[in-house]
Amino acid sequence: MLDIASVVRVHVDALIVAMNHLVVRDAIARNAPVRKPVAMSAPHMPKVAGIDSAVPAPAHTVQPLDASPGAPVVMLQDRLAGWVSDLTTLHELTERLVRTDSVDTALNEVVRAGAALVGSSRGLVVLEPAHRTEENARGATAALGLSHAELGQLETVPRDASSYGRLLDDGAEPATAAESVRDVLGDPGLDPLHRDVAVRLGYRATYAVSLAAGTSGRIGVAVWLYDEPAEPVERQRHLVGLYSRYAAEHLARLRELEAARAREASIAGELLPSRLPRVPGVRLAVRHRASGHGGGGWYDALPLPEGALGLAVGSVSGSGPSAVAAMGRLRASLRAYAVMEGEDPVAVLSDLELLLRLTEPARTATALFGFAEPALGRIVFAGAGHAPPLIVGERRTEYVETTLSAPLGMLTCWEAPSVELSPAPGETVLLYTDGLLRRTGEPMDRAFARLHAAAASVPGSLRDDPGAIADHVLRLMGASEDSGRGEGADAGSATDTEDVVILAVRFE
């Protein structure tokens, strides 16, 4: 994992050989007979052409037996122990870095680890956009010991006037891996704006390291600030150089992974409804929290003849592009079956079961389909291995007892009785995916109890707005995000492993 230079390895091996030689020689000296002549204890050299082995070695090359080699051994042991300690520290820091799973957390780890290696208490890491030509391309920044206002002041310094800015310039040579400024204010050619910022922030020295990956080239730079004129010693520069090379590769991989997840989330969002229909007698709202791993959670609201409305939520097993594609096919098929026989939710799910078993026998899915007639205040539900709906009102908050059944794709022939529900005016029915329960990290019985408590605690001032009810439940269930507060789906890039869907239906 660690990129240790070959020179370091050769020196360590040489030290070990030297130590062994000195220790063995010391042991021979300690165990030698008392008052034994040196000439008698010296080994007989073999006869070699041109060399007379009987001639004794020069006197100045023979070390007295009572000379102690302890001091060189201790020195070598101390140096070797120092190298082992440095490499152990480097290994621990890279292990902590590899456990990060997002660019933001990795940047925070890099700036903290680098500060520990170079002996600084403040610093920042700047990650350049992957594609500068794209519109709205943005990089990322992580800071240590610097507030947002102080970061804003640093951004006012021209790039060519700061050490880390010069490393970020396109014209900088790739070989320029680091730049140290021992005394910022002592530089007579310092940019006046840079001098003012340095005085206001109270730093006197900087040390910047370029972050360059083998496949992506230079992706950013890390810089650490010192309160007094100083610079890292050679050992610190070597360690932070090794760490920065590994950090750059890790950040490049995470950035590519997040870009792929964003593309998958965008595709999944395109496969879901862009807007909810407007049907007299009901108000609809949806909240979709994408997992960022290409989950198969989905929802649908389909206007049907005679003012009816088809409501559906479900999830497909697996993750990644294949799960997203399967989700799109399943949702499109359910819409077709709902148009043909939506008044019978059991028949809709039975047809969906047959299709899934014939076309994708290795995949399972859960689904909940409801045929709503707002004019009559009635919904007929059928579920296949899905969590039951939750009805929220002023006088009651309770689960709708749907019939227990296996998920789609697990039985030779699926069929389960439907359940009819008659919500009162002002009540809201919540349809949700299992991801809402699993994101809590609790056992399912406790997750259901937590969801019930969250729905029951909706303030009276929010009960008229189905979107506000969904937001309140998401926040208390730990799946809330700042984005996605519109009527349509939110294809945000969450780092959680479960898709979350809440479809709120309020009866007027």
Q: Is the dihedral of CA 391, 392, 396, 399 positive or negative?
A: positive
Same domain, 73 and 111: no
- Please indicate, yes or no, if residue 267 is contained in any of the structural domains: no
- Please indicate, yes or no, if residue 384 is contained in any of the structural domains: yes
Q: Do 144 and 131 form a contact (C-beta atoms < 8 A)?
A: no
Same domain, 201 and 341: no
Tokens of 194: 């840079």
Give the CATH number, domain containing residue 397. 3.60.40.10
Determine the pLDDT at residue 407: 87
The total number of structural domains that make up the chain: 3
Determine the pLDDT at residue 14: 46
Residues 6+ apart with CB under 8 A from 64: none
Same domain, 229 and 333: no
- Please indicate, yes or no, if residue 47 is contained in any of the structural domains: no
Same domain, 295 and 171: no
- Please indicate, yes or no, if residue 401 is contained in any of the structural domains: yes
Q: Do 400 and 365 form a contact (C-beta atoms < 8 A)?
A: no
* Per-residue model confidence as pLDDT tens digits over 303-346: 999 999 999 999 888 777 788 888 888 899 999 999 998 899 99
Report the alpha-carbon distance of residue 292 to residue 3 in Å, rounded.
Answer: 32
- Please indicate, yes or no, if residue 10 is contained in any of the structural domains: yes
What are residue 380's DSSP bridge partners?
371, 420
Determine the pLDDT at residue 138: 52
HSE value, Cβ hemisphere, 13 Å, CA-based, for 236 = 17
Within its chain, how far is the Cα of 18 from the centroid?
Answer: 46
Same domain, 19 and 120: no
Last residue of a domain, one of 200, 229, 259: 259
Helices 321-341 and 345-359 pack at an angle, to 10 degrees, of: 140
Same domain, 433 and 396: yes
Last residue of a domain, one of 80, 99, 118: 99
Determine the pLDDT at residue 81: 77
Sheet bearing 122-127, strands edge to edge: 140-144, 122-127, 217-226, 205-213, 178-181
Same domain, 221 and 303: no
- Please indicate, yes or no, if residue 48 is contained in any of the structural domains: no
Last residue of a domain, one of 212, 227, 259: 259
Residue listed under structure tokens 């206007």: 303
Same domain, 279 and 245: no
Give the domain extent around 222: 102-259
Determine the pLDDT at residue 261: 76
From residue 175, alpha-carbon distances to 167, 172, 210, 211, 245 in Å are 10, 8, 9, 11, 13
Same domain, 92 and 133: no
- Please indicate, yes or no, if residue 51 is contained in any of the structural domains: no
Determine the pLDDT at residue 294: 59
- Please indicate, yes or no, if residue 41 is contained in any of the structural domains: no
Same domain, 279 and 414: yes
Question: Which residues of the chain are modeled with pLDDT < 70?
Answer: 1-71, 131-138, 170-176, 292-295, 403-404, 411-414, 479-497
Same domain, 240 and 286: no
Same domain, 211 and 301: no
Residue listed under structure tokens 């707005």: 465
Give the CATH number, domain containing residue 158. 3.30.450.40
Residue 115's closest CA among 201, 211, 222, 220?
222
Torsion of CA 34, 38, 41, 42, to 10 degrees: 160
* Per-residue model confidence as pLDDT tens digits over 452-461: 999 999 998 9
